[in-house]
Amino acid sequence: DAKTTQPPSMDCAEGRAANLPCNHSTISGNEYVYWYRQIHSQGPQYIIHGLKNNETNEMASLIITEDRKSSTLILPHATLRDTAVYYCIVRSFSGSARQLTFGSGTQLTVLP
């Protein structure tokens, strides 16, 4: 699986968009970009994933650069409940094993 690099921490004002970057310069063609988050002491929660196109769901948007070497998770209107550690994970799923490798993630703090 490709290695990912994320900033250790970020702040965002409540109501503003939170843009969380992830660098994955060694990503290969069949690897997806996944985002999970972990709100304090809870189990990780799936947010969104993408292969090459930009994706949007009810939680967030995922923007992947054309060369796929980096991506940005966007929370359009951050709330205090979005304060969490956000993990960017790059993974291919060519077999039946689904294990994920969690790095250190980005601690997002939404400020009132």
Partner 1 sequence: NAGVTQTPKFQVLKTGQSMTLQCAQDMNHEYMSWYRQDPGMGLRLIHYSVGAGITDQGEVPNGYNVSRSTTEDFPLRLLSAAPSQTSVYFCASSYSGTGPYEQYFGPGTRLTVT
Six-digit token pair at 72?
A: 């940005």
Provide the pairing of β-strand 106-111 with 9-13.
Answer: parallel
Nearer to partner 1, 32 or 63 (CB): 32
Whether residue 61 contacts residue 49, with contact meaning beta carbons closer than 8 Å, is answered with no
Sign of CA dihedral 37, 43, 47, 50: positive
Q: How many C-beta neighbours within 10 Å does residue 62 have?
A: 22
Nearer to partner 1, 31 or 82 (CB): 31
Provide the mask over 42-61, with x wherever binding to partner 1 is found by CB under 8 A and - wherever it is not: xxxxx--x-x----------
Nearer to partner 1, 81 or 96 (CB): 96
Provide the mask over 75-104, with x wherever binding to partner 1 is found by CB under 8 A and - wherever it is not: ------------x-----xxxxxxxxxxxx
Residues that bind partner 1 (CB under 8 A): 32, 34, 41-46, 49, 51, 87, 93-105
